[in-house]
A and B are shown apart, each in its own frame.
Chain A
Amino acid sequence: GEDVEQSLFLSVREGDSSVINCTYTDSSSTYLYWYKQEPGAGLQLLTYIFSNMDMKQDQRLTVLLNKKDKHLSLRIADTQTGDSAIYFCAERIYGDYKLSFGAGTTVTVRA
């Protein structure tokens, strides 16, 4: 099976950039996702990238993929208090339907 790993906690000052890291193990063609879970809410899809891409940018979010190291990162520019949440990295092998999630990174934004 696939193993997806993330650091558990990140504290960042409001206005700074946040970088959340994730590593995965499968080397097949794969989709890699970032989901956000705010307190009491479900999982909100933030962005995703296919493994033939190196980077994807969407407003304040930048996803970087290093296929050689199987390393994925999510950068949030100008972090705001509303960005405080748990961020989950997930992997899906092309042709499969299952997602393999990491344990989630709890991001705390301090004033």
Chain B
Amino acid sequence: EAGVTQFPSHSVIEKGQTVTLRCDPISGHDNLYWYRRVMGKEIKFLLHFVKESKQDESGMPNNRFLAERTGGTYSTLKVQPAELEDSGVYFCASSPDNSPLHFGNGTRLTVT
């Protein structure tokens, strides 16, 4: 089966610009998660979708971040406007239930 796919793999943008990250989960996985690793620190939870519904968005840093999962398939994470501290690696993961998560390769975001 195809794994979790994330696009783009890298993105370099200037402060104040907008960036949209995309995640395609494994087909049939209702649960989709976004995580972020900033500056070599721990990987932190951002939010969790069950199908198209946001189950838990307690980890979203602020209202500059908007995640969507229309139709319960792929998800997007938009950062608008981007700030320097948003730089990091954004991971997406999916699972069919509460079994172990399957992670994508991540999107490395650099805000200059």
Contact = CB atoms under 8 A, between A and B. Distances in A.
Central interface residue in B33, B45, B48, B100, by most chain A CB within 10 Å: B100
Contacts of B98: 97
Interface residues of A, number: 20
A15 to B, nearest CB: 28
A82 interface: no
Chain A, interface SS category: strand
Given A42-B4, A42-B106, A43-B93, 19 more contacts: A4-B42, A33-B100, A40-B105, A42-B3, A42-B103, A43-B91, A45-B100, A45-B103, A48-B100, A97-B31, A97-B55, A98-B48, A98-B56, A99-B35, A99-B45, A101-B42, A102-B42, A104-B40, A104-B43
Q: How extensive is the interface on chain B, given as a class?
A: 20 to 34
